[in-house]
Amino acid sequence: MNIIMSRVKKNIKTIGAILIAAVISTLCLVMPVEGSPVPGGSDPSGFSQYIPGGTGICATAVQDTIRVLMPDGSVQTMDMDEYLKGVVPSEIGASWPYDALCAQAVAARSYAATSYRHPEQDANVCTTTHCQAWSQARDERADIAVESTHNIVALYNGEIISTYYFGHCDGHTRSSESVWGGYLPYCRSVSCPCGYHEMFGHGVGMCQQGVKVLAAAGWDYKDILSHYYSGVDVRSTDAEPLNWYFAEGTTRPGYTTYICLGNSNEAAAEVDITYLIDGEESRAVPYTVEANSRRTIDASHDIGIHKDFSCTIASVNGVAVVAERPMYFNKSPVNGGHDTIGANTPSANWYFAEGTTRKGYTTYLCIGNPHDTPAELRIRYFVEGGENIEVLHVIDPMSRKTVNVADDIGTGKDFSCEAASLNGVPVIVERPLYFNTGVYNGGQDALGAPKLKMSWYFAEGTTRRGYDTYICLGNPNSQKTEIKLKYYLGGSETKEAYYTLEPLSRLTVDASSDVGAGRDFSCRINTINSVPFIAERPMYFSTGAYNGGHDTMAAPYPKSSWQFAEGTTRPGYKTYVCLGNPTEKTADVLIYYLRGNGTIVSQRFDVPPYSRHTVCANDVIDTGEGAALDIGIEVTVVNKVGIFVERPMYFSASGFNGGHNTIGY
């Protein structure tokens, strides 16, 4: 989906000759432990063949978990990225350059994804150099490198390769057949600038000391990996989003619900929107989203007024789009708007960190069931400073249900919550919240997170006058979570704060107590005792021009590309892009604004290390009426640095006043 690939020619750096094998096969490729025979011999083309139960497995995608044989003989199932966080600093120096850490992370991930080295214990890998070195020690820089390359691997002919690597070479690496006797097309002999004159290790694949030299010389990790593994494609194995789901939507009087679709491809996308209408039959409506453009659909034009709905969006011609659902409302006693990115898939579990039933606040859970089977949903509410409450709700097939949380837990309570499908039927859950406190008036909404994580990222946050920024943390586990909160401020300044999140609880942090007044920030939040949690960041504002609030779930990973379907520079609207850089490397960022009339405006700038940066779309796009002022947004980091991005909007137009915000895809 990344249009930069068709507009910017990549500058490929080389040292010496890179030999690309002409022989291509769809066989799963493995190599033996150094010094042992090639398993199964060779086929006529010279490829090693895979034997079930042998040392490797065929993979085209990264599995979520990996089974690790521990030193005591036990086998632990670990989250793949959490396992890799123990590998990277054990294999190379944690102080090495960012791109060296990323290259090691991708190589280690690719190796792990194709390994089944201990079949007798039903384990993929062990913790020694027989497989990959691993320890429980963690380093923040290595952790961020792993997270920045989430699900990115090296592939050859569409399959993840066995990424062999070693300490250092003598100026050039070795081909697989010269060492092991088996031919691997991606393991060719290439020149290496490591600076050593003797070999340390088997010499096949990636030279770790060479990686350090190339990263220090300014190579990005994808170019490094492409040098050592000939002819590979370094990319994520995550599928492009062909389906989107929203649980919330209404066409009641006083509410306007839009569905925004962004298409950054060179071909038009044919999509079907299926509305699951409360109390009515579902309804499907087809649309075309032209290439490199954004399209806006007013839901009331499809289904009429006085309807509450959930919806699904499906690309029927295989061209992926990104989807958001902004809503605007002017219904006494609230006025404002909210927005969220869609979900790519239903889930049996959803988590929220924010919610309240205090006076002046009304919190709902909107639940969409796009299946033909009822969903039995257990909602566990974790009340801040109080009891925990469980309630069971049944969601009928192909329908949407709205839960007023005060009916479940009573009034005057702050809470986080977990929604779990007891019969395994996956659903979509959002949490809209409306408020009129006498100071703030508006609404906010967030899509839940389908899983807990060890770390989360927010690109937006401010303690300027007129703004209140909170970080809400939820812990649905039976163990406490020790939290580190790292703020990225201007000029690469950072601040850290530490909190304890008790079991089965919710905690609210006022950011101003950590960073002081008058500061803009991004932040990373992580557990330091390996107990996962959930995070949201509500903001409230009363600035004179705008009054309201917005909220978003945290981003799970930094990435080098982000997309948004919503944004506008029409009169009365301000669209911002907030970017956080958690690394020591400056991010070279290119934004494409995909206008509703098919034209494109670009903007390029740097995001300094350990900092937050904000740009305003209104500064580069004129103001006026019409579809040309409505924009989709694509953010690409040219030098592959992992960043995290949000898109806040503020508005005072058409009878609506407030703001909304979302993370990107």
Q: Residue range 123-135: average pLDDT?
A: 96
Place of tokens 């205090």: 358
* CA atoms 424, 425, 428, 433: torsion sign: negative
Q: Exposed (0-12), middle (13-18) or buried (19+): which is 317, by Cβ within 10 Å?
A: exposed
Residue 46 has pLDDT above 60, yes or no: no
- pLDDT-derived band at 57 (thresholds 50, 70, 90) equals confident
Distance CA 368, CA 396 (A): 9
Residues 549, 544: Cα–Cα separation, whole Å:
13
pLDDT classification of 55: cutoffs 50, 70, 90: low
Residues 6+ apart with CB under 8 A from 74: none
Which is nearest to 385 in space by CA: 499, 501, 497, 483? 501
Calculate ∠ Cα 156-160-161, nearest 5°: 70
Mean pLDDT, residues 210-234: 98
Q: Three-class SS string for 156-186?
A: ECCEECCCCEECECCCECECHHHHCCCECCC
Is residue 149 within 8 Å of 81, Cβ to Cβ?
Answer: no
CA–CA separation, 190 and 225 (whole Å) = 12
pLDDT number for residue 58 = 87
Among 610, 616, 612, 641, which Cα is nearest to 631's?
A: 616
pLDDT at 188: 97
In this predicted structure, the answer to whether residue 30 has a pLDDT above a threshold of 60 is no
- Report whether pLDDT(19) > 60: no
The residues that bridge with 369 in the sheet, in sequence order, are: 399
pLDDT exceeds 90 at position 3: no
Residue type, 337: G
Please tell me the predicted confidence (pLDDT) of residue 490: 82
| Run of H or E residues at 395 | strand 388-395
- Residue range 39-46: average pLDDT? 25
Q: State the average pLDDT for the chain.
A: 91
Exposed, middle or buried: residue 64 (CB in 10 Å: 0-12, 13-18, 19+)? Answer: exposed
Which pLDDT belongs to residue 560?
97
pTM for this model (two decimals) = 0.91
Using one digit for the tens of pLDDT, what is the confidence trace for 515-530? 999 999 999 999 999 9
Dist CA 444 CA 435 (whole Å): 9
Count of positions (residues) in the chain:
665
pLDDT tens, position by position, 161-190: 999 999 999 999 999 999 999 999 999 999
Buried b (16+ CB within 10 A) or exposed e, 339-370: bbbbbbebbbbbbbbbbbbeeebbbbbbbbbb
Report pLDDT for 50: 29
Tokens of 232: 């590979």
Tell me how many helices (H) and strands (E) the chain has.
9, 44
Following CA atoms 148, 149, 151, 155 in sequence, which dihedral angle do they give, to the nearest 10 degrees? 160
CA dihedral over 183, 189, 194, 198, signed as positive or negative: positive
Q: 275: closest CA among 297, 253, 255, 242? A: 297
Rounded CA separation 423/401 (Å): 17
- Give the model's pLDDT for residue 492: 84
pLDDT at 387 over 90: no
**DSSP secondary structure string, 334-373?**
EEEEE--BPBSS-BSEEEES--B--TTEEEEEEEEE-SSS
Q: Which of 24-33, 353-362, 370-379, 633-642 has the lowest mean pLDDT?
A: 24-33
Look at residue 44 in the predicted model and tell me its pLDDT: 25
Bridge partners, 217 (sequence order): none
The yes-or-no verdict on residue 128 having pLDDT over 80 is: yes
When pLDDT is averaged across residues 104-133 and rounded to a whole number, the result is 96
Q: State residue 386's pLDDT score.
A: 80
E strands present in 193-300: 206-207, 233-236, 243-246, 255-263, 269-277, 283-289, 293-298
Cβ(630)–Cβ(568) under 8 Å? yes
Give pLDDT tens digits for 537-577: 999 999 999 999 999 999 999 999 999 999 999 999 999 99
102 neighbors 221 (Cβ within 8 angstroms): yes
Per-residue CA distances from 173 to 21, 98, 164, 228, 635 (Å): 15, 23, 11, 8, 36
Q: How confident is the model at residue 54 (pLDDT cuts 50, 70, 90)?
A: very low
